[in-house]
């Protein structure tokens, strides 16, 4: 029950939102090198940090912009996770995706399943995010913030939601729960190989059933020609043997006519979605606890 309570707390934070307020804590941006690439991430520390605080990673959606203008504040000004961190005393980490040049504008895009070919070389975003999780667990004397290895949560929107699923599958040993808002498991002309997670992770999935960009039942997504329907994802999770899908496909509150696409469409929407998305998937089994030593393993 403790792990179910932790998962419910994290999922509840997704919708605390409300009126934007002045940032109370400190927001610091860092750069590091991963897989021979310069990577950027920001850390928000609330004014009153919990002892051995929880950690939340918030992954932005695709940002069509110049390389000099990364979406540094997407998880604070956009998603308002800073206010939630202030209220709950956890460490908030806002990583930035890999930049792909383009004309007239490039984009910051996550290397989720099926998108390796979009990059000159796969940037290993999954490994980058894992390295951040392990770094945050280190004491302040070693550059971390002493976060609790048993309370590490990842959420993402759109492209960030797709990457959240890859992170939770490939790094299930260091993640307690994940929340996915309007994102597919993969996007490709042919279904890529998606490994089974090493152990259970609690999942909350939100997807508007009138979303025209990442369609609820699957369909073309320019320029990616195919994506899986939510039922395909449910089947994948169930067949892995690591997911209990007995409570999947629960119907949530209905949205006003014409509003579900606006609530969840990554090109036109606002965050947080109000009211909640019309469909949610919540596996019944929460992730099991692990020892601190296991979770520190790289």
Confidence of residue 221 (pLDDT cuts 50, 70, 90): low
Does the pLDDT value for residue 216 go beyond 90? Answer: no
Quick: pLDDT tens for 73-85. Answer: 999 988 999 999 9
Answer whether 185's CB lies under 8 Å from 161's CB.
no
Does the pLDDT value for residue 195 go beyond 60? Answer: yes
Does the pLDDT value for residue 297 go beyond 50? Answer: no
What angle, rounded to 10 degrees, do the helices at 2-13 and 81-88 form? 140
Is 18 a member of any domain? Answer: no
**pLDDT at residue number 223:** 46
| pLDDT, averaged across the chain | 75
Q: What percent of the chain has pLDDT over 90?
A: 48
Residue indicated by tokens 């949205």 = 255
Q: Determine the structural domain holding residue 291 and report its residue range.
A: 2-12+25-295
Q: What is the dihedral of CA 100, 105, 109, 113, to 10 degrees?
A: -80
Answer whether 232's CB lies under 8 Å from 249's CB.
no
* Calpha distance 170→40 (Å, rounded): 21
Is 53 a member of any domain? Answer: yes
Among 29, 132, 20, 126, smallest CA distance to 82 is for: 20
**pLDDT at residue number 226:** 62
**pLDDT at residue number 129:** 98
Find the range with the poorest average confidence among 18-27, 227-236, 262-271: 262-271
**pLDDT at residue number 252:** 40
More confident residue, 180 or 205: 180
Q: What is the dihedral of CA 286, 287, 290, 296, to 10 degrees?
A: -140
Is 17 a member of any domain? Answer: no
Quick: pLDDT tens for 29-51. Answer: 999 999 999 999 999 999 999 99
Alpha-carbon torsion (256, 257, 260, 261), positive or negative: negative
Residue indicated by tokens 């070389």 = 121
More confident residue, 194 or 153: 153
**pLDDT at residue number 74:** 93
CATH, residue 213: 3.40.50.1820
Number of domains in the chain: 1
Answer whether 172's CB lies under 8 Å from 287's CB.
yes
148 Cβ partners below 8 Å, 6+ apart? 52, 53, 54, 55
* Calpha distance 77→172 (Å, rounded): 29
Residue indicated by tokens 């690439």 = 37
The pTM of the whole model exceeds 0.85: no
Is 20 a member of any domain? Answer: no
Strand partners, 178: 154, 203
């Amino acid at each position: 029950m403790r792990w179910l309570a932790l998962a419910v707390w994290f999922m509840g934070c997704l919708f605390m939102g409300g009126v934007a307020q002045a940032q109370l804590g400190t927001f610091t941006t860092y750069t590091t090198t991963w897989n021979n690439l310069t990577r950027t991430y920001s850390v928000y520390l609330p004014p009153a940090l919990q002892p051995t605080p929880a950690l939340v990673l918030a992954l932005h959606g695709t940002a069509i912009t110049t390389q000099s203008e990364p979406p540094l504040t997407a998880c604070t000004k956009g998603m308002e996770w800073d206010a939630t961190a202030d209220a709950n005393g956890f460490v908030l980490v806002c990583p930035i995706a890999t930049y792909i040049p383009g004309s007239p504008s490039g984009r910051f895009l996550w290397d989720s399943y099926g998108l390796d070919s979009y990059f000159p070389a796969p940037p290993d975003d999954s490994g980058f995010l894992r390295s951040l999780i392990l770094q945050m667990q280190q004491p302040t004397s070693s550059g971390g913030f002493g976060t609790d290895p048993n309370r590490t949560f990842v959420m993402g929107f759109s492209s960030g939601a797709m990457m959240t699923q890859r992170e939770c599958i490939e790094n299930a040993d260091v993640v307690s729960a994940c929340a996915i808002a309007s994102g597919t498991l993969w996007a490709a002309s042919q279904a890529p190989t998606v490994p089974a997670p090493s152990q259970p992770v609690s999942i909350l999935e939100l997807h508007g059933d009138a979303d025209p960009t990442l369609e609820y039942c699957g369909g073309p997504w320019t320029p990616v020609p195919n994506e899986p329907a939510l039922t395909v994802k449910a089947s994948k999770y169930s067949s892995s043997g690591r997911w209990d899908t007995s409570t999947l496909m629960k119907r949530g509150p209905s949205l006003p006519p014409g509003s579900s696409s606006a609530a969840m469409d990554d090109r036109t929407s606002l965050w947080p979605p109000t009211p909640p998305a019309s469909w949610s998937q919540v596996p019944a089994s929460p992730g099991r606890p692990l020892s601190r030593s296991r979770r520190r393993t790289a």
